[in-house]
Amino acid sequence: MTYNWILWYGTNNKGRATFFESEKAIKLRPIDAMPIPVEISIQQHLDDIISGEIPEPKECCPRCFSKPGTFKLHECRKRAFRYIAGNFVKVLITLLARWKCLECGKTFTISPPFAAPHKRYTIIDILSLRNKLIKDEQQTCYTAVTHEGSPIGYQEENEKNVDHFLAPSTVWRWIHWSGDTKTSYK
């Protein structure tokens, strides 16, 4: 069973938020009986966007630094997030709100709490694997991308065979991205 969610979000001629049906609906499988916290966060975020409960950003405009309250909801865009569940990398698709500054006209996206800007993986997984490598001197980039001794892999769409595995260089890039370069090369 899959859920079909509305793909495109916009405003009608009166400036009110409206969802429009699309031929390309986002397909999500239902959350398992025991979802992990990041699955719950992503699903809750999607439910909030679809129900129209989108809080206005608390940050300033990235271009003109105007204060919150001068933004209007512009649109929503589709975004896939990867997260690690046991030995597998799974993907959930959600919507991200895009805001428009009424003073300078810039359109921007504020990432939800579980997401890092410009990163495919959730912030929880980025930090946990990064910390696993940094805190344990016996860890290497190769052992950090394992779960209980087995490599963390991506599943094919039929979810039976592992197609490829999480690269050790990915965790190494996360260390540098987060600004923690005190760790020596392993």
The model's pLDDT over 143-164, given as tens digits with 9 standing for 90+, comes to 888 888 888 888 766 566 566 8
Q: What is the mean pLDDT of residues 23-40?
A: 51
In a domain? residue 117: no
Q: Which residue has the tokens 């309250």?
A: 69
Q: Which of 71, 68, 94, 72 lies closest to 83 in space, CA to CA?
A: 94
Select from 76, 109, 142 the last residue of a domain.
Answer: 109
Looking at the structure, tell me whether residues 149 and 172 fall in a common domain. Answer: yes
Domain that residue 66 falls in: 3-109
Total number of domains constituting the chain: 2
Torsion angle (degrees, nearest 10) of CA 10, 16, 21, 24? 20
Q: Are 68 and 56 in contact (CB under 8 A)?
A: yes
Q: What is the mean pLDDT of residues 121-135?
A: 87
Looking at the structure, tell me whether residues 43 and 130 fall in a common domain. Answer: no
SS3 146: strand
pLDDT at residue 178 is higher than 90: no
* 171-176 own/partner pairs: CB under 8 Å, 24+ apart: 171/129, 171/130, 171/133, 171/141, 171/144, 171/145, 172/133, 172/141, 174/126, 174/129, 174/130, 175/130, 175/133, 175/134
In a domain? residue 23: yes
Question: DSSP letter at 6?
Answer: -
Instruction: Classify residue 143 as exposed, middle or buried by CB count within 10 Å of its CB (0-12, 13-18, 19+).
Output: middle
Residue 33 confidence (pLDDT) = 39
The model's pLDDT over 45-77, given as tens digits with 9 standing for 90+, comes to 899 888 888 888 888 888 899 888 889 989 899
